[in-house]
Structure 1
């Protein structure tokens, strides 16, 4: 039974590693910045899953703590990246806003 369990854990870790590579391709190719953020988030989530699988496979409890800390760092990374996207969007909106106001003011002056 333990051989079957070890085989299943190893197979799932290998499958997740292959999926990480596929997601990495998406992160590089992704046409928009948000696609890249989501791909990086998925890579981090799968890495946490691999660490948890290794914890069970190697019977090392401390790896669960490592996975939890990595998950927290991953969450903070996504929050910071999302904040950067929002700030960039707000700045873009502010740049277009004054020109629209100037056009309206010019139209009302005529």
Structure 2
């Protein structure tokens, strides 16, 4: 599947250690997990999957991520890379405690 933007980029799998083990990360926490160069000032937007996918074109992606999390919440994070590029992470939590992971997919978007 591809994320449709000025450059149609593929969704690629992601799996990030989530030692907090509960809930989903806030803006600064997700920026640290994806190794943003300045997590405290990163431009991060957190979206509900339904708001992100208003037309239902990514339903299969959201369903697959939901299944991976065995019913845990799914969140979409938009993390700006520069003025015209951003990465979208569609993730959920898998497991609990110190061995928990954030799993899902990400895609690069070019937005002019």
Range into which the TM-score falls when normalised by the shorter chain: under 0.3
Structure (1 or 2) with the larger CA radius of gyration = 1
Higher RCO (CA-CA < 8 Å; seq separation 6+): 2
Higher fraction of strand: 2
Higher fraction of helix: 1
TM-score, normalized by length of structure 1? 0.23
